[in-house]
Amino acid sequence: MRFVIVTGMSGAGKSTTLKTLEDIGYFCVDNLPIQLIMRFAEIAYAKDNDINNVAIGVDIRSGVYLEQLSECLQQLKESQYDYEILFLDSNDDVLIKRYKETRRNHPLARNGRIEDGIKMERSRIAFLRKEADYIIDTTSLLTRELKAELDKIFIENAEYSNFIINVVSFGFKYGIPRDADLVFDVRFLPNPYYDLELRPLTGNDEAIQNFVMQFDEAKEFMNKIADLLEFLIPNYIKEGKNGLVVAIGCTGGKHRSVTLANGIYKELETLPYSVRIVHRDIEKDANRKG
């Protein structure tokens, strides 16, 4: 029996999450009043029912009663009703964009400014983020990628780390990713762009990978970055950091950076963290140098 409380920022993907959990057999209730959670747990854990797993959605719509949730969680613990908290988050810029695309108002934006509503919401639900067993940042996730993250937790029962690593390849011509924590420049490596047969390909193609990785400098770079990250990540976690964006850049973001980012991603996959990869500029103008 799993009793999951799904919460987080409005617009971060709670509806999609509850629908996904419902599809894999969870009994789901969205926006359950705080006052009913304890009673709902009693029913769910009763021996004479056939409910296997449940998920309830709790968010800022609970209004003033949200402040009672801490007391409710304490009651669940005292009654030995096991529960898990899944917190969905996203950065402010993406949340604002999602609200504007759907033309919805933020529930706390009384003055009409979405930014103010988001700021107030973050403050009011900060305690839930601290209590969360799982945190999923949906900033750069497609719906299918969010579902894959949920599958890891609720189907595969894999060990899940709240520390999220994003490996991003990019082209310096298009600017450094604004959210990058670490930036590595691989323009020192020979550029396959100047080979007319290789130019149309990308770092996802074997021919480009073979070209880039034939050089000892590329292999040494890969090993040094892997060692550096293996050292840094536990120390970042120790200091309370919950995510890391590693950006690998070349001229156009199509050949060298993609190859090296793929290699670093594979190295990090062996570590006990949630790792994602994004090739930001791979689809940009094919005539740009890579």
Q: 109: which residues sit within 8 A by CB, 6+ positions away?
A: 116, 117
Report CA 189 to chain centroid distance, whole Å: 31
Query: Using one digit for the tens of pLDDT, what is the confidence trace for 201-221?
Result: 999 999 999 999 999 999 999
Q: How far apart (Å, rounded) are the C-alpha atoms in residues 168 and 14?
A: 26
Mean pLDDT calculated for residue range 97-120 = 78
- Which of the four pLDDT bands, split at 50, 70 and 90, describes residue 8? very high
pLDDT at 92 over 60: yes
Q: CATH number for the 2-154 domain, one of 3.30.70.260, 3.40.50.2300, 3.40.50.300, 3.20.20.70?
A: 3.40.50.300
* Band of residue 64 on the pLDDT scale cut at 50, 70, 90: low
- pLDDT in the model for residue 112: 67
For the chain, which residues make up each domain, given as ranges? 2-154, 164-279
**What is this structure's pTM?**
0.63
| pLDDT of 4 over the 60 cut | yes
158 has a pLDDT exceeding 80: no
**Alpha-carbon torsion 208, 213, 218, 224, what sign?**
positive
Q: Name the phi and psi angles at 261, rounded to 5.
A: -60, -40
